[in-house]
Structure 1
Amino acid sequence: MKFSIFAPGTIGNVSSGFDILGLAIDGLGDTFHFETADAYSIRVSGRDAADIPTDPALNAVTIASEAFYRLFGRRAQPFSVHLERSLPMSGGLGSSAASSVAGALAAARFAKAGPCTDLILQAALDAETVVAGPHLDNIAPCFYGGLTLVQDTEALSVYPIPVAIDLWIVLITPAIKIKTKDARQVLPPTLKTSEWSKQMAHCTTLAVALARGDGKQIAFGLQDTYAEPARASLIPGFHKAQELALAGGAYGFSLSGSGPTCFAVCPTKQVAESVGRALLGVFGPKAQMNIVQPRLKGAEVLS
């Protein structure tokens, strides 16, 4: 039995929605080619291929598969997998979530498990917990597509939010690496009530504005007063890039997840292209820039 799965990249947090909002992106993701085998084997090509572990005990694809079979109560079916990467490792675009979701989906397909969303999500979360941390904000949009709100991680409760506006998103990945665990260490351990209320006002406004298609209020919502101020110092040129993006017509500019990838949300493709050129001027020729749109579909079996 063999088949392929595409798992989209994702923007975790989406600025103000720390650990609860996530957005799937179109045109950028990883493709996994699976085939049954007597033992696990992993081959990797594409972006950052040399940095991806091929030991089944360390790779999120196989960790997620094993987790699924434990939850399903059946002996695991090993496989060979060829991972074609487009997402950066430790880049803030959900590469570990993509591998976790793909591994769990593959296991469900090999097991002919039928509808089992909770098992797939739990297995993917178990793998994500091992390699990055116990967070659903990338897992959920990768699996479901679109914009998702994590209501309760432990209960796997996720609420989809419609995006009722045409958006173009500039992704800029500087030539540096930031591990999620390291980025979490710089976060403030506590917040004043007034500061948290302000953050919640931005997050709530963002969700409602995206659902209503209100560009002006999207700009208000794309302000992060919690993680961004702490993490911006990890990315040389961040504040200059943000200034240029906003001056160029972007609704907002912030970190994708824990970074170093940053994103600018723009009203048109023309604005996005102009902002993208400005961002490359800040981060230099070694930075990678992509212009994408939200993806309504989640991970999918291609064949």
Structure 2
Amino acid sequence: MESVESKALPHVGKQLKEEVRVFAPATVANVICGYDILGFALDEPGDEVIMRRTKEAGVKIVNIQGDDGRLPWAAEKNTVSASVQNYLELIGRNDIGVEIELFKHMPIGSGLGSSAASTVAGLYAINQLLGQPISQRELLPLAMKGEELACGYPHADNVAPSLLGGFTLVRSYEPLDVIHLPVPANLYCSVIFPHVDVPTRAAREMIRKKVLLKDAVQQWGNIAGLVSGLFMEDYDLISRSMEDVLIEPTRAILIPEFYEMRKIAMSAGALSFGISGSGPSVFSFTTNRELAQEISHKISKHLNAHGIECNTYVSSINSDGPKEI
């Protein structure tokens, strides 16, 4: 994993703060054909962290809200506090003390990068609190370690867009190489989170370890087509390229009404429809907000008719990433 360059790191920046409040956005990872390499940030939902300096050294969580009691409070087990501990060790300032309040405004286990948003909010907050002694991009390996704690695998397709904003491509993991992609001006996203349980670890374990070469070639072509479509603002090419022949056929089994939801979205005029991350959330691209809202409404109505509650979100692509609020 990439580390901060071997240079003399400043212990803290020049403009110290006593307290910061930070929002970090949810993300859609994989983006259908780009398993573990593509992702983009949403305007909503997201998580918030309040962080303040304390006289006593160490990292403590003093409040967690919105998690229904599911998240650990122990500093070494919670992705937010553990990532802050790693940050302080990296800059050589384990003498610093902070306390953390975490506000979950997005569902856990939704496939929308819940752990990533919390981790990114915490890392961005501590870096702001201490005057930004390292760059935002240098926070990325630390955020990936948070993902490893959360789900057992240090992937970047959620934390990269949440931290850097916009649409990101992980070209390589060793060495880590993350690239910003352009976002067409009229690209909107409709997200539906059905209230069903699809654990990330379980969804990852279902994936085939070997694939047919012809399927791999088709997938590579789709990834290249999607990236080209983003650069050229070619919505038709984006639509043609958003097909997953490797992962979706397996993971779709875990999501009730998946193919009916896709039929509804595509019949309404969506550019695409697929699984967000490991699910159960699904998303579609459209070229205007009104159509995205219509698709969300139709799918929500369909799920409710089948006894499945859901959350819906409509968003443009968030180009800002985390921010102080």
CA distance 1:2–1:75, shift in 2 (3 Å): same
**What is the aligned partner in structure 1 of residue 40 from structure 2?**
23
**What is the aligned partner in structure 1 of residue 22 from structure 2?**
5
**What is the aligned partner in structure 2 of residue 297 from structure 1?**
320
What do the CA deviations read for 1:245-299 (whole angstroms, capped 9, x no partner)? 1011001110000011100111222211221122112322621111111001111
Distance in 1 separating the partners of 2:158 and 2:95: 25
Give yes or no for contact 1:20–1:136 (8 Å, CA) kept in 2: yes
Distance in 2 separating the partners of 1:97 and 1:154: 20
Distance in 1 separating the partners of 2:142 and 2:182: 26
**What is the aligned partner in structure 2 of residue 248 from structure 1?**
268
CA distance 1:156–1:77, shift in 2 (3 Å): farther
Q: How many residues align?
A: 301
TM-score (norm 1): 0.94
Pairwise CA distance, 1:118: 4.9
Q: Which amino acid aligns with 2:139?
A: I
The reply to whether residue 102 of structure 1 matches residue 121 of structure 2 is yes
What do the CA deviations read for 1:70-115 (whole angstroms, capped 9, x no partner)? 2222215332222222221111111111122122223323443523
TM-score (norm 2): 0.88
SS in structure 2 at match of 1:257 = coil
Distance in 1 separating the partners of 2:138 and 2:169: 19
Give yes or no for contact 1:89–1:95 (8 Å, CA) kept in 2: yes
Choose the corresponding residue for 2:257, options 231, 234, 237: 237
Give yes or no for contact 2:45–2:105 (8 Å, CA) kept in 1: yes
Q: Which amino acid aligns with 2:202?
A: D
Distance in 2 separating the partners of 1:300 and 1:231: 33
Distance in 2 separating the partners of 1:73 and 1:118: 19
Summarize the alignment of residues 195-214 of structure 1 with structure 2, pairs less than 5 Å apart: 195-214=215-234
What do the CA deviations read for 1:12-45 (whole angstroms, capped 9, x no partner)? 0111111000101113211111112335123122
* Aligned-pair Cα RMSD in Å: 1.6
Distance in 2 separating the partners of 1:118 and 1:235: 34
**What is the aligned partner in structure 2 of residue 33 from structure 1?**
50
CA distance 1:207–1:42, shift in 2 (3 Å): farther
Summarize the alignment of residues 99-138 of structure 1 with structure 2, pairs less than 5 Å apart: 99-132=118-151, 133-138=153-158
CA distance 1:113–1:290, shift in 2 (3 Å): closer
Distance in 1 separating the partners of 2:203 and 2:138: 29
Choose the corresponding residue for 1:77, options 88, 93, 96: 96
Q: Which consecutive residues of structure 2, in runs of 5 or more, have no partner in the other structure?
A: 1-17
Summarize the alignment of residues 133-148 of structure 1 with structure 2, pairs less than 5 Å apart: 133-148=153-168
Distance in 1 separating the partners of 2:143 and 2:149: 10
Give yes or no for contact 2:47–2:121 (8 Å, CA) kept in 1: no
SS in structure 2 at match of 1:51 = coil
Q: Which consecutive residues of structure 1, in runs of 5 or more, have no partner in the other structure?
A: none
